[in-house]
Amino acid sequence: MNILAIDAGNSRIKWGFADDSGWLRRAWIYTADAASIGDAFKALPAPARIVVSNVAGDHVRYAITRALAGYSIVPLWVTGRDEQCGVRSGYAAPAQLGSDRWAGLIAAWKLYGRACVVVNAGTTMTVDALSGEGVFLGGVIVPGLDLMRTSLSDGTAQLKLQPGAFYYFPDNTADAIMSGAINALAGVVDRMSGYMEETGQRTENSGPLVVLSGGAAALIKARLNGAVELVDNLVLEGLLEIAKQE
């Protein structure tokens, strides 16, 4: 069965085409270029199912809808649910949970089936707690790496945005900003792991597994404590699982 999965985020629209053997092709375009997304699909075989996560607004939904208009099947637009693919939602209003977060939780459960801190480090960073019984306990949203750095540049007179790198003890402003942002993001992830351990969400021998995805994932991974798994695109993996089970 051919499946086209589309993950429309604030900065990029990522998509993948898969059959029963796995991914055949994956690529992305900038969300600002959403009107051209149909060009990417012209060389693909006709999919049997199309599944979409969109957190980028109505104008992007319209662009994707236009791009898919030539197919004879109706796309599945993912929304948060009470329960799906073995994951149960503890959100106060499950439908209000971002479709990207929901797909990421489903992917983490499918891939690892254990207590996890599910992290998507993109334009914003989401850090979600998934219990060992497959229950989404809740999570937090913080500015992503670039948003943190840009906010300092925009909000101060002397902290201009410049390329920087991570150091334990930065000795210049650019590195101080980059290192501070990475430390802050890693701290949120470690703190969520700590909360899960404090509330008994751990296996016999270890705490929760951190499942990490997104553009800043590699930078954050090096600064984390405990077990970490890096997944190239957690949302696409979750969308694929949803398409298979719907």
Distance CA(14)–CA(190), nearest Å, equals 28
Residue 177 amino acid letter: I
Residue showing tokens 């790496």? 145
Distance CA(198)–CA(78), nearest Å, equals 32
- In sequence order, what E strands does the chain have? 3-8, 12-19, 22-30, 49-54, 76-77, 83-84, 87-89, 116-121, 124-130, 135-143, 209-213, 228-230
For the question of residue 100 being annotated catalytic, the response is yes
Whether 184 and 215 have beta carbons less than 8 Å apart is answered as no
**Per-residue CA distances from 104 to 7, 42, 48, 80, 109 (Å):** 11, 27, 22, 11, 9
Joined together, the tokens standing for residue 148 give 């943190």
The single residue of 19, 58, 82, 100 carrying the catalytic annotation is 100
Distance CA(170)–CA(174), nearest Å, equals 9
Which of the residues are catalytic?
100
